[in-house]
Amino acid sequence: MIRILLADDENLIRVALAQMLELEDDLEVVAQAATGPAAVAAAKDNTPDVAVLDLQMPGLDGITVTEQILRVLPDCACVIVTSHGRPGYLKRALSSGVKGFLPKTTPAATLAETVRKVHAGGRHVDPELAAEAISAGDSPLTPREADVLEFAADGSPIEEIARRASLSTGTVRNYLSNAITKLDATNRHDACATARRMGWI
């Protein structure tokens, strides 16, 4: 029996997934969670074989949850399901140790097969998402530029971004200027939109 943790903040989707997976003779949903921190706690308490995680959850996203679960349960195979199949997310997910990456439009039978595959040591990435990620290329932003751009995404003034990033205002301006240039954007709001669309922030 493969023990599964399901984490998704949308209750209807999570419960439906649990019911579909429970129909399989070899799969058992041992825990459910609605937030990132709750998913990490549930993993520690229930030691699942496979964690099926939503990418966007309150508290912590699925990629961060994967990293935290793997620190305490290195043998747990993590699968991300998402309605945000952006190229940058896929690359970040794979580098964090995720073994499966699927859109939420995936049929239940495919999800069940993916759970079995990753539990057996394999990997499964949706072919269309993989093709998009390859064609998009890598992010041109340095990690620090991406951080500063993310802080700027809510329209915060330079001084506020500098405080949150623990940088001087001049350094923040330089990072934003670099990001705008690299993304061929007209301003920082345009740069944020482009980076978010690509999954780079």
Please report, for the domain that includes residue 36, its CATH number: 3.40.50.2300
Say yes or no: 39 and 9 in one domain. yes
Q: Which residues contact 199 (CB under 8 A, 6 or more apart)?
A: 84, 86, 87, 88, 89, 90, 91, 92
Is residue 19 very low, low, confident or very high in pLDDT (cuts 50, 70, 90)?
Answer: very high
Say yes or no: 128 and 147 in one domain. no
Dig out the tokens for 39 from the structure: 């998913």
Say yes or no: 61 and 79 in one domain. yes
63-105 pLDDT, tens digit each? 999 999 999 999 999 999 987 666 677 878 888 999 999 988 8
Sheet (strand 2-7) strand order: 27-33, 2-7, 50-54, 77-82, 100-103, 124-125
* Angle (deg, nearest 10), helices 62-72 and 87-96: 10
Distance of alpha carbon 97 from alpha carbon 110, whole angstroms: 20
Dig out the tokens for 106 from the structure: 């995936």
Segments forming the whole domain that contains residue 163 = 143-198
Distance of alpha carbon 129 from alpha carbon 155, whole angstroms: 30
Is residue 112 very low, low, confident or very high in pLDDT (cuts 50, 70, 90)?
Answer: very high
The structure's pTM equals: 0.72
Residue 201 confidence (pLDDT): 79
Say yes or no: 128 and 151 in one domain. no
